[in-house]
Amino acid sequence: MKIKILIPVYNDFQSASKLINDINSVISNLNEEFSIIIVNDGSTEKTEIDISNLDKINSIKVINMKENSGHARCNASGLKFIFENEEFDYVIPMDGDGEDRPEEIGKFIDFLKYDSTKPIVGERIKRSEGLIFKISYNIHKLITFIFTGQSIKFGNYTCLPKSTVAKMINEKATWSSFSGSLAKLEKNRSTIPSVRGERYFGPSKMSFYNLIKHSLSIIAVFKTNVIIRSILFFLIYIFLISKNITYITSIPLIAIIGLVISVLAISKRENINELNDSLSNIENVEEIKSN
């Protein structure tokens, strides 16, 4: 099997280099052919990857983007590039900072021996972040389930067969939310347990604002469900408080209206034309290791 590991990177090549070396160690006993595709999202720091001891990795390519476009769009562009330019059977998207643990690649490969046709998602069973982040994440999961009917416990760390990649690069939601798009397109998914690892170097570059935007982007993929469920909630709640309408009892209604407006606004990020044209943002492609 030919497997491409897709890694978006923005100004964190120290972590990416360590990740690739850790991947090389993890796959030492596997027989599959592994290659690395790095999407350099307009980094301002120098691209440096230590390739001195990468005996198990077949090749490494760095796709240098002209302009920074964000993590989700890097994944979308990377999937499109791989589908149109590479020979592959599966793609494994990973974060480049160590939070997606390389040792779980073996779990993906083991699962493929039982069912090689379905996408496999790394379902989070344990996280390494602080208490506030964990609480925020659980609130996000609850709101997502209530308003979309979807239980999405996975991120980018997945193993996608070629058929799924073909679907994702033709779905506008992929341009805005990787996990939301995958949940929409592939209802029948396999899962492996996944522990969120700790960053190799430095603090996370994800701000709280971007976390909220990320959450809303996932929910926005299912905006029709959000609108329908919000209307039902609105009507039922109005009926229940009709004899006791105050500023306090109106807060949930205001929150629902705010959620719907936010979801509709962020859903505009979904754009199939920009996804189709995403490879025009490539400045060049460097092959820093070949076999």
pLDDT value at residue 134: 72
Residue 212 pLDDT greater than 90, yes or no: no
pLDDT value at residue 54: 92
Residue 127 pLDDT greater than 70, yes or no: no
Is 192 within 8 Å of 109 (Cβ atoms)? no
**Token pair of 11, please?**
């100004």
Residue 164, number of CB atoms within 10 A of its CB: 22
Average pLDDT, integer, range 87-116 = 93
pLDDT value at residue 211: 79
User: In this predicted model, which residue has the larger pLDDT, 209 or 154?
Assistant: 154
H helical segments located in the chain: 13-26, 71-85, 105-112, 131-148, 162-168, 178-185, 208-220, 223-241, 251-266, 272-276
Long-range CB contacts (within 8 A, 24+) of 53-59: 53/21, 53/24, 54/20, 54/21, 54/24, 54/289, 55/24, 56/24, 56/27, 56/28, 56/30, 57/20, 57/23, 57/24, 57/27, 57/289, 58/33, 58/34, 58/291, 59/35, 59/287, 59/289, 59/290, 59/291
Task: Give the whole-number percent of the chain exceeding pLDDT 90.
Answer: 68
Among 52-56, 174-178, 234-238, 242-246, the range with the most confident prediction by mean pLDDT is 174-178
Average pLDDT, integer, range 105-113 = 92
Residue 261 pLDDT greater than 90, yes or no: yes
Q: How far apart are the C-alpha atoms of 210 and 199, rounded to whole Å?
A: 18
User: In this predicted model, which residue has the larger pLDDT, 162 or 134?
Assistant: 162
- Residue 14 pLDDT grade (very low, low, confident, very high; cuts 50, 70, 90): very high
Q: What is the pTM assigned to this prediction?
A: 0.91
pLDDT value at residue 198: 84
- Residue 133 pLDDT grade (very low, low, confident, very high; cuts 50, 70, 90): low
Please state, rounded to an integer, the average pLDDT across all residues of the chain: 91
CA proximity to 205, closest of 71, 38, 52: 71
- DSSP for 201-222, please give it: SS-----HHHHHHHHHHHHHTT
pLDDT value at residue 213: 87
Each residue's pLDDT tens digit, 273-286: 999 999 999 999 99
pLDDT value at residue 223: 96
Task: Give the whole-number percent of the chain exceeding pLDDT 70.
Answer: 96
CATH code for the domain defined by 2-130+151-205+271-289:
3.90.550.10
Tell me the domain boundaries of the chain. 2-130+151-205+271-289, 223-263
Residue 27 pLDDT greater than 80, yes or no: yes
Each residue's pLDDT tens digit, 213-247: 889 999 999 999 999 999 999 999 898 888 788 88
Residues 6+ apart with CB under 8 A from 146: 229
Q: How far apart are the C-alpha atoms of 39 and 199, rounded to whole Å?
A: 19
Average pLDDT, integer, range 248-270 = 93
